[in-house]
Structure 1
Amino acid sequence: MAFSKSQIPFTAQHYLVCGTEECENNCQFYCNDCHQPMCEQCRDVHKKSPDTKKHEVAPYQQRKRQLPEVKCHIHVNRYVDMLCEQCQVPVCSKCATKDHGGHTFIDLETVYAEKCAICLNEINKIEEYFLPTSQDLLKSTKTDSTEIKKIMESLRTSIRTAAESLKSMVDAVTSDNIKQVNEQEKSLLQLLNAQEKKYNDYISYINEHVKKFHGYLFSKNLQILMSEITKNLKIDPIPETTKPVPPLFTAGQYSKEDVTKLLGRVTVPDTKPENRKIKPMETFSTQLKSTESQRKQDREKSAMKQTLSLSSSVTKVREYRVPGVYSVYHILLGKSGRIWASDECGSLVQTDLLGNLLQKIQTSGGSEGYHTVTQDGDLIYTDRKNKVINRIKQDNTMTEFIKTGDWEPISIHSSHINGDILVGMIKDGKAKVTRYNKTGEEIQNIQRYNKGQELYSNPCYITENINGDVCTSDYDKRAVVVVNKSGQYRFSYTFFPPNGMCTDLLGHIIVCDGLSDTVNVLDQDGQFLSLLLTEQQGIMYPRSLCVDDGNNLHVGQFNTSTVKVYKYLQ
Structure 2
Amino acid sequence: MTDKKEEYPLGTPQEHALICEKHDLMPIDVTCEDCEEFICSKCAKDDHKDHNWDTISTAATIRTRGLLKAMTKIEEKDIQQINEHIQKASQQMEENKKRYESEVSKLQKHYDAIVETLDKIKKKHEKILRDSLERKNADVSKAKSSLEEKRKKVLQRVKSMKEKGSSMTDIILIKTHRELTKLISTEVDYKQKSDFSLRYEGGDINKAMLESMMGQTFDAEQITVTETDSFQWGEKSILVLEAMNEYRCLLSNNKFQNVVQVSKSGKKEKQFSVDVYGVCVTDNNDVYVSDMKNMSISRLSSSLFPSGSVSTAFSTDPLQPVGICKTMDGGLLFALGDTESDYFQPNSDSRRLVRHATLTGDVIHEYEYQEDGQTRLFTMPSRVTQNSNTDICVINETSNTTSELLILSFSGSVKSVYPKQEHRHHFSDVVCDSYRNIIVSEKQKSSVHLLSSDGEFMRYLLTEKQVNNPQSMSLKKSTLWIGDTHGRVKVFQYNPYTKV
Partner of 1:556: 483
Q: 1:526 aligns with which of 455, 458, 474?
A: 455
**Are 1:482 and 2:407 counterparts?**
yes
Cα distance, 1:355 vs structure 2: 2.6
Cα distance, 1:450 vs structure 2: 3.2
Secondary structure class of the residue paired with 1:535: coil
**Are 1:350 and 2:261 counterparts?**
yes
Counterpart CA distance in 1 for 2:130 and 2:496 is 13
Q: 1:389 aligns with which of 297, 302, 307?
A: 297
Q: 1:60 aligns with which of 173, 178, 200?
A: 200
**Are 1:426 and 2:337 counterparts?**
yes
In terms of fraction of residues, the more strand-rich structure is: 2
**Are 1:540 and 2:461 counterparts?**
no
Partner of 1:457: 379
In terms of fraction of residues, the more helix-rich structure is: 1
Secondary structure class of the residue paired with 1:544: strand
Aligned AA for 1:414? K
1:62-461 → structure 2 map (5 Å cutoff): 62=202, 121=205, 309-311=219-221, 314-321=224-231, 323=233, 326-335=236-245, 337-345=247-255, 346-365=257-276, 368=277, 370-395=278-303, 396-415=308-327, 417-427=328-338, 428-429=340-341, 430-451=351-372, 452-461=374-383
Call closer, same or farther: CA 1:41–1:34 in 2, change over 3 Å. Answer: closer
Asked if the contact 2:440–2:450 (Cα under 8 Å) also holds between the matched residues in 1, the reply is: yes
Partner of 2:418: 493
Asked if the contact 2:448–2:462 (Cα under 8 Å) also holds between the matched residues in 1, the reply is: yes
**Are 1:42 and 2:132 counterparts?**
yes
Partner of 1:467: 389
Cα distance, 1:424 vs structure 2: 0.3
Unaligned runs of 5+ in 1: 1-17, 49-57, 64-119, 125-284, 290-298
Counterpart CA distance in 2 for 1:423 and 1:62 is 27
Secondary structure class of the residue paired with 2:132: helix
Bigger-Rg structure (1/2): 1
Aligned AA for 1:333? A
Asked if the contact 1:553–1:568 (Cα under 8 Å) also holds between the matched residues in 2, the reply is: no
Counterpart CA distance in 2 for 1:512 and 1:26 is 25
- The Cα offsets for residues 80-139 of structure 1, whole Å up to 9 and x where unpaired, read as xxxxxxxxxxxxxxxxxxxxxxxxxxxxxxxxxxxxxxxx85xx8xxxxxxxxxxxxxxx
Counterpart CA distance in 2 for 1:24 and 1:360 is 55
Cα distance, 1:467 vs structure 2: 0.6
- The Cα offsets for residues 232-273 of structure 1, whole Å up to 9 and x where unpaired, read as xxxxxxxxxxxxxxxxxxxxxxxxxxxxxxxxxxxxxxxxxx
Asked if the contact 1:29–1:40 (Cα under 8 Å) also holds between the matched residues in 2, the reply is: no
Counterpart CA distance in 2 for 1:25 and 1:502 is 30
Call closer, same or farther: CA 1:46–1:514 in 2, change over 3 Å. Answer: closer
Aligned AA for 1:391? R
Counterpart CA distance in 2 for 1:37 and 1:509 is 26
Aligned AA for 1:61? E
Cα distance, 1:350 vs structure 2: 0.6
Call closer, same or farther: CA 1:35–1:517 in 2, change over 3 Å. Answer: same
Counterpart CA distance in 2 for 1:325 and 1:361 is 20
Secondary structure class of the residue paired with 1:411: strand
Call closer, same or farther: CA 1:37–1:431 in 2, change over 3 Å. Answer: farther
Partner of 1:231: none
Unaligned runs of 5+ in 2: 1-90, 109-122, 139-197, 342-350
Counterpart CA distance in 1 for 2:258 and 2:309 is 19
Asked if the contact 1:335–1:377 (Cα under 8 Å) also holds between the matched residues in 2, the reply is: no
Call closer, same or farther: CA 1:59–1:557 in 2, change over 3 Å. Answer: closer
- The Cα offsets for residues 537-569 of structure 1, whole Å up to 9 and x where unpaired, read as x3211112222322x432221113331415453
Asked if the contact 1:350–1:358 (Cα under 8 Å) also holds between the matched residues in 2, the reply is: yes
- Give the RMSD, CA atoms, in angstroms: 4.0
Return the TM-score normalized by structure 1.
Answer: 0.47
Call closer, same or farther: CA 1:316–1:392 in 2, change over 3 Å. Answer: same
Asked if the contact 2:199–2:219 (Cα under 8 Å) also holds between the matched residues in 1, the reply is: no
Secondary structure class of the residue paired with 1:311: helix
Aligned AA for 1:378? D
Asked if the contact 1:311–1:568 (Cα under 8 Å) also holds between the matched residues in 2, the reply is: no
Counterpart CA distance in 1 for 2:449 and 2:97 is 17
Counterpart CA distance in 2 for 1:397 and 1:387 is 17
Call closer, same or farther: CA 1:39–1:510 in 2, change over 3 Å. Answer: farther
Aligned AA for 2:490? V
Secondary structure class of the residue paired with 1:392: strand
Asked if the contact 1:473–1:481 (Cα under 8 Å) also holds between the matched residues in 2, the reply is: yes
Call closer, same or farther: CA 1:19–1:351 in 2, change over 3 Å. Answer: same
Counterpart CA distance in 1 for 2:218 and 2:200 is 14
Call closer, same or farther: CA 1:555–1:38 in 2, change over 3 Å. Answer: farther
- Over the matched positions of the two proteins, sequence identity in percent amounts to 19
Counterpart CA distance in 2 for 1:504 and 1:360 is 28
Cα distance, 1:311 vs structure 2: 2.5
Counterpart CA distance in 2 for 1:62 and 1:19 is 26
Asked if the contact 1:25–1:312 (Cα under 8 Å) also holds between the matched residues in 2, the reply is: no
Secondary structure class of the residue paired with 1:351: strand
Counterpart CA distance in 1 for 2:127 and 2:449 is 20
Counterpart CA distance in 2 for 1:358 and 1:535 is 30
Partner of 1:569: 496
Counterpart CA distance in 2 for 1:22 and 1:526 is 21
Aligned AA for 1:513? E
Partner of 2:169: none
Asked if the contact 2:333–2:384 (Cα under 8 Å) also holds between the matched residues in 1, the reply is: yes
Cα distance, 1:358 vs structure 2: 0.9
Counterpart CA distance in 2 for 1:488 and 1:313 is 29
Asked if the contact 1:458–1:476 (Cα under 8 Å) also holds between the matched residues in 2, the reply is: yes
- The Cα offsets for residues 408-436 of structure 1, whole Å up to 9 and x where unpaired, read as 11111112x22210110001443011111
